Amino acid sequence: MNLKPWLAFVCAGIFSSAYMLECRGETGKPIRAGMVGLDTSHAVAFAKLLKDPQAGKDLAGLDLVAGYPVGSPDIPDRMKAMKEYTETLRGMGVEIVDSMEALLERVDVVLIESVDGRPHWQQAKRAIEAGKPVFIDKPLAASLADAMRIFRLAKEMNVPCFSSSSLRFGIGAEKVRNGTDDYGKIKRCTAWSPLKLEPHHPDLFWYGVHGVEILYTVMGTGCKTVRRAAPDKVLGVWADGREGIFVGKKNYGATIEGEKRGGDLGKYVGYAPLLVEIVKFFKTGKPPVDAEETLEIIAFMEAADASKNQGGAPVSVESVMKKAREEIDRDANPAAAKSADAAKPVIAVPANESALQIAVDLPKDAKPANGERWQLKELGGAVAVPAQLVPALFADGTVAAPHGKVVADIPPRAGATGIRRFVLEPSREMRNSAFQFVEQDANSLKLLNGDKPVFVYNHGVITNERVPATDSRRSRACYIHPLWGLNGELMTDDFPRDHYHHHGIFWAWPHVGIGDKQYDLWEYRNIRQRFVRWLARETGPVAAVLGVENGWFVGDKKVMIERVWMQCRNAAGGERSLDMALNFIPVGEPIALRGAEGKSYGGMTVRFAVKNSKQTTITVPSGVAEKDLPETPLPWADLTYTYPGASEPSGAAFFVPKEHPDYPPTWLTRHYGPLCIGWPGVKDKTFAPGKSIQLDYRVWMHKTAVSVEALKQAYDAYLAASQARSE
């Protein structure tokens, strides 16, 4: 199949517009540049060169005025680096903004400096649609399809765009290509660079791209087949019989074999030569690298992965190009993609820039085999993620189907918009359970994630001898404590001296009305929770699921059925989620619930192990709360603190879904440790016997202190995941 016409559409004329940045460069006004990402060392290196008062005229005329830090939580070391780099840029006079929109308002041109290639398509899309010329640092994207999308949109919008590794410039490769180094016709080139791997990218995309960029700078386009000869060696054969070889090494370079002579390229000289080309590009609108060549570089690297998956067999570059183009076409026609695999359950997931932790009921006619290993594979794409089948529930919290719900973590895919569709299918890959339940004693069940503790569910009665025997708060059951953070820190408190009745994560009301009598479940006066039976206890590669039925008892009389489901996700990217579903069904007669007057506590509550309230940070959607908040409607709240024995702060937020009754409910937040989701609030709400009350929440734990923007993003992902559905 001849792909030249399609590539011509993308490439021909892509930068032939009468582009000039309002002639800013010619009138003496500097071109205002903005950086997106800031989680790569390139951001600081470029900034230092541009801000250097001794910089030469080749770097003059481009002023770095704004930066938007945004990283990838599932690459945690880069998130940490981003904070350092952001402060460095701030100290150099670069304005740090909190959104892409704010950045685009301030700049003429954009440099995408996100180390992760996955978000590049969406980042580039927003810049291009705003008419801002854009340079995209390596890798251009995390897939060939996304790379094609970027250049196609740039063509359609007539906006200049280019991408390159710094290794293209400054080591002499351009001279070999241009014939000024007297090699004659190049017969073979062996190029090398480090080959560090990153699990979210094809092998060569993360660091191997540097060596492949050198290879293509020397050889030019025209590679026909690619073969993965070894884990660190890739062989390419060009249409005219020339050979291009990539090898993974600790440094950078290339050996040239020409018709006239052979030799080695010079040493790497840093970022300045690339930055000179970027400045020139922003001034002229003319890219130093053709889009066609950059696309073939990406195709070469993707073909290397395909060859590896086929045991080292040769893979044609054309076949990889064709597959990527078909993926783009399928995305444009999701109905056709769905029909290709109509026999399998299809899960529709909204596209999102964040990973989505979905939990979706399967169609009633789906009969997945018990004991299978499962995955969700994206229709028309290469994404396949582990999936796990867990119990589907009736509205009353009982089990409707033991394996009727699929749970999975859906990573973002750059370029994805609208609805992404996945088929549920058996997986050949062996995946061990990420979790383990351990009986701590006769009253308590501990959950481990790997070898690290997550929480203990206390189904039996826990008694604290320190509390006077006549105090109703001396004993309690049916709650979570301890809850551990991702660093192993103990985050919750039990029987604190200031409020003996506070106990980890619990759910209770100070006013429980039954008939003409009032009861206090908050302090266990004349009413108590008791364990009745286990509903489920399951672990797998994606989640651990614990289901339990309790009862509220007045003496020996059960007045309320309580069913609690806890679903904990595997820790990743410095975060972990615990989803909780509470079902309450009055028994025999109506029950009225009410929170505390003037404060609203009563409902889902957590008591954090805060020892010094002055060091507590409580964050809500409006920002950091300086004071305690009584009776405050909130969709979420976060408490961050440096817990005893920890070297840095960590925290947990409670998220409330929009389906929650009376959303958003009123809260009580206290800097000394409690977060209380007060529902139904300070006015009685009466519930009929036999009618289920359902309350859902997420506990979102984070390993380090996070910004309000990160909390909003996590909450938005929580809401987006709830929109996933089976089709």
- Residue 24 confidence (pLDDT) above 70: no
Q: What does the DSSP 8-state code read for residue 472? A: G
User: pLDDT class for 428, splitting at 50, 70, 90?
Assistant: low
pLDDT digits (tens, 9 = 90+) for 214-258: 999 999 999 999 999 988 999 999 999 999 999 999 999 999 999
**Could you tell me which residues come within 8 angstroms of residue 166 by beta carbon, excluding any fewer than 6 positions away?**
42, 210, 268, 270, 271, 273, 274
559 close to 587: Cβ distance less than 8 angstroms: yes
Residue 77 or 630, more confident = 630
For residue 100, give the 3-state DSSP assignment: helix
Mean pLDDT lowest among 70-84, 302-316, 427-441: 427-441
pLDDT digits (tens, 9 = 90+) for 320-355: 999 889 878 867 776 654 554 456 899 999 999 999
Give the span between the Cα atoms of 297 and 217, in whole angstroms: 10
pLDDT of residue 673: 97
Give the span between the Cα atoms of 139 and 209, in whole angstroms: 7
Give the span between the Cα atoms of 73 and 355, in whole angstroms: 9
pLDDT of residue 25: 47
State the amino acid at position 270 in one-letter form: G
Mean pLDDT estimate for the chain: 91
pLDDT of residue 277: 96
What's CA 19's distance to the chain center, in Å?
36
- Residue 263 confidence (pLDDT) above 90: yes
- Residue 20 confidence (pLDDT) above 50: no
- Residue 697 confidence (pLDDT) above 90: yes
Residues 373-399, mean pLDDT to the nearest whole number: 90
pLDDT of residue 12: 41
> pTM to 2 decimals?
0.56
pLDDT digits (tens, 9 = 90+) for 452-469: 999 999 999 999 999 999
**Could you tell me which residues come within 8 angstroms of residue 538 by beta carbon, excluding any fewer than 6 positions away?**
390, 391, 544, 545
pLDDT of residue 335: 61
Sheet holding 356-361, edge to edge: 356-361, 399-410, 384-393, 374-378, 419-426, 346-350, 725-726
- Residue 506 confidence (pLDDT) above 90: yes
pLDDT digits (tens, 9 = 90+) for 81-139: 999 999 999 999 999 999 999 999 999 999 999 999 999 999 999 999 999 999 999 99
